[in-house]
Structure 1
Amino acid sequence: MDYYIVAGETSGDLHGANLIYALKEQDPNATFRIVGGDKMEAASTQKAVLHTSQMSFMGFIEVLLNIRSILKNLKNVKADLLRHRPDALILIDFPGFNLKLAAFAKQHDIKVFYYISPKVWAWNTKRVKKIKRIVDHLFCILPFEVGFYDQWGMKVDYVGNPLLDAVSQYRFNSTFKEANNLINKPIIALLPGSRKMEISKLLPEMMKVVKLFPGHHFAIAGAPNFDQSYYEQFMHGATIPVIFDQTYDLLNNAEAAVVASGTATLETALLHIPQVVVYKANAVSIAIARRVIKVDYISLVNLIMDREVVKELIQNAAHYDAIAEELDQLLNNRSYRERVLADYNALAAIMGEPGASSKTAKLIDKYLK
């Protein structure tokens, strides 16, 4: 089979890479053309038609400011898709871009598979009607999504969460602390996100927390789209290490973490690291989001559990004083910390076992045959 796979963000690149490996197990002769990042390039042994570093814009205002680039990217991918006409188009999350691409593919009789449902349950739920028209098969990774789609008369496949695959398959480095000079003191991990807007708004607040915990090492999880110099402009001369391509090792060795809202919140929970979740965006984007988004939480951990398991500090609340206060509770209040870890155990039970990539690959192979 000839597959065309599109992921527009760092997390989608990870899941896309694991899906490519699983598809190769189903069909060793499968060929791939990708829109994605470094991990998908490595898995497919193909250069990306368009790299995730050129695609990821966050927030309503940010999207508007970059609309010309987004439309150009979409036009180029549409043209490339028609030139190659794959057996299947596989779209991974990234709905603003991918739903438009799905509609285009459907018009041209290209079979469309959608892996990782758009978050239509959070806002603009009427998009389900469009998804029913333009997507041949939808694969969901959150347990509550099956019931949501069922209410709209749409049958979907629940395949489990691919983060379970990523965590279970990761080979942890037993010498991580020594290799990164993080010995003798416990570690607090800082995960300021994978996009420019996130990092520029969150990292300065995180850096103000560092001086309040002199008994700890701090380390920043670097995103693959950036280099050391990009982070340094927000670090005010501090010598905090920025560690690339070792986020799981950093978390696995941390006593606690400060995490930008997104996929990383769930990864941190699956690794059983107490965390405080932070989020900042353009003020207008936040105001719009608060009017249209219909969920009570922003972190995947709380959304899945349908209650507050981890503290969420949003916009002005994501201030270094509040971050430090929550960190203090996670580090020094034993009963509070144990409650969080017990909730993580309950979350793991809900999430189930690894195997999402393999299940999805088998279903795609089945549906195509």
Structure 2
Amino acid sequence: MKYYLVAGEASGDLHGANLMKAVKALDPEADFRYFGGDKMKAEGGMLVKHYADMAFMGFTEVVLNLRTVLRNMKTCKEDILKTRPDVLILIDFPGFNLKIAEFAKAQGIKVCYYISPKVWAWNQKRVLKIKKVVDQLYCILPFEVEFYKSWGMDVHYVGNPLLDEKEAYIPDPGFAAAYGFGNQQLVALLPGSRKQEIERLLPAMLSITDRFPDQQFAIAAAPGFQGDYYAQFTAGKNVSLVFGKTYDLLYHAHTALVASGTATLETALFRVPQVVLYKGGRVSIAIARMLVKIRFISLVNLIMDRKVVTELIQEDCNSKNIESELRGLIEGPVRIKMEEEYAELAEKMGDAGASARTAGLILDYLKNAVPKQQGK
């Protein structure tokens, strides 16, 4: 069968690659075409557009890059129409993907959505649109099932695909030596994968490195960027740059500073005490504060429904606060408590196998279901 996948950022590329691998195990003749990244490309098929040209962060950033967004959307629609896949599989990235879903549904193409749009955070009435244009919805966060049920929508809870990636991870025994990491405590810096968040968060992260002479720091560099891009931030700093080895970095890390997003959950699954950071454009933040209906921004706190990790947002994301929070995590009761709560988080997350479960559900649906029509 022909599968068309759309992922618009690094985390979607990761989950899309794992899903493709699981689909191939059930359908050896699977033909993939996709918007994605290097991890999906490694699984085969045809990469139509790389997510590095798609990921814009915040309301104002999307508006400023609207021409690019619309061009990407047009390319995607035209390519779907030209190739007419048996199923369109959308992965997170709701601002883009819900419009693609609406288009595909109007063309009579089956639509499966993997990793539910975070409509529980703001504008919850978007669930009504999802009900019209999505045939099957697969959720990866435990609390999402009850949320959708409250809107009269049945969804599948498949577990979290990060558990698949974590289970498949094999530590590189030569990693520490290759990067010159010795006996000092290693602080991992995860500033995100999008240009806007890197440029807002990495300077704040690096501003405190000189105050920790007993620790060593390393940046998890994002795919799609080169070393010379990061050099503008790291000049004069004693910090290592790690490409394509984020899990090895987390495996060896003692503590971490992490951009809000999927990485906060990955860091927790590696049991690394962390501080979560977020900075957005002023207009984007002002709009978000009016619209967003959640108490937390990090997945760790959202899943646990209480504060487990400290979130430093916008004006609170400054050198003084980052230094203070990091010192508290290096040793002492704050660190011990967070490690204990990580154990509880792991229990809530359940077992690995999300990719295989989702692949199985998609193939069962394709064999047995008749797609609902738009507006039904």
Residue 209 of structure 1 corresponds to which residue in structure 2?
208
> Equivalents in 1 of 2:55, 2:236: separation in Å?
28
1:360 aligns with 2:358: yes
Asked if structure 1 preserves the Cα contact closer than 8 Å seen for 2:190 and 2:258, the reply is yes
Aligned ranges for residues 18-97 of structure 1 at < 5 Å? 18-43=18-43, 45-97=44-96
Give SS of 1:129's match: helix
Aligned pair count reads 367
Give SS of 1:172's match: coil
Asked if structure 2 preserves the Cα contact closer than 8 Å seen for 1:203 and 1:235, the reply is no
Give SS of 2:41's match: helix
Cα deviation per residue 1:114-155 (whole Å; 9 max; x = unaligned)? 000000000000000000000000000000000000001000
Give SS of 2:254's match: strand
> Equivalents in 2 of 1:47, 1:33: separation in Å?
5
Asked if structure 2 preserves the Cα contact closer than 8 Å seen for 1:7 and 1:35, the reply is yes
> Equivalents in 1 of 2:200, 2:107: separation in Å?
42
Shift of 1:171: 1.5
Shift of 1:332: 2.3
> Equivalents in 2 of 1:304, 1:135: separation in Å?
25
Letter in 2 for 1:206: M
Cα deviation per residue 1:219-248 (whole Å; 9 max; x = unaligned)? 000000111111111224324111001001
Shift of 1:184: 2.5
The answer to which of 45-54 and 240-249 deviates more is 45-54
Asked if structure 1 preserves the Cα contact closer than 8 Å seen for 2:32 and 2:46, the reply is no
Aligned ranges for residues 171-182 of structure 1 at < 5 Å? 171-182=170-181
> Equivalents in 1 of 2:342, 2:237: separation in Å?
33
Cα deviation per residue 1:246-282 (whole Å; 9 max; x = unaligned)? 0011011011000000000000000000000000111
> Equivalents in 2 of 1:229, 1:308: separation in Å?
37
Residue 4 of structure 1 corresponds to which residue in structure 2?
4
Give SS of 1:188's match: strand
Segments of 5+ residues of structure 1 without an aligned counterpart are: none
Give SS of 1:357's match: helix
Shift of 1:347: 0.4
Residue 112 of structure 1 corresponds to which residue in structure 2?
111
Residue 344 of structure 1 corresponds to which residue in structure 2?
342
Aligned ranges for residues 218-233 of structure 1 at < 5 Å? 218-233=217-232
> Equivalents in 2 of 1:341, 1:124: separation in Å?
34
Give SS of 1:28's match: coil
> Equivalents in 2 of 1:90, 1:332: separation in Å?
44
1:16 aligns with 2:16: yes
Give SS of 1:6's match: strand
> Equivalents in 2 of 1:332, 1:184: separation in Å?
16
Runs of 4+ in 1 over 4 A off after TM superposition: none
Residue 293 of structure 2 corresponds to which residue in structure 1?
294
TM-score by length of 2: 0.97
Fraction of identical pairs, as percent: 58
> Equivalents in 1 of 2:175, 2:345: separation in Å?
27
Residue 324 of structure 2 corresponds to which residue in structure 1?
325
Aligned ranges for residues 140-289 of structure 1 at < 5 Å? 140-289=139-288
Shift of 1:48: 1.2
> Equivalents in 1 of 2:168, 2:39: separation in Å?
14
TM-score by length of 1: 0.98
> Equivalents in 2 of 1:128, 1:249: separation in Å?
38
Shift of 1:174: 1.9
Shift of 1:297: 0.3
Shift of 1:186: 1.3
Give SS of 2:141's match: coil
Cα deviation per residue 1:286-311 (whole Å; 9 max; x = unaligned)? 11101100000000000000100000
> Equivalents in 2 of 1:235, 1:319: separation in Å?
18
Letter in 2 for 1:332: E
Segments of 5+ residues of structure 2 without an aligned counterpart are: 368-376
Give SS of 1:194's match: coil
Asked if structure 1 preserves the Cα contact closer than 8 Å seen for 2:217 and 2:238, the reply is no
Letter in 1 for 2:19: L
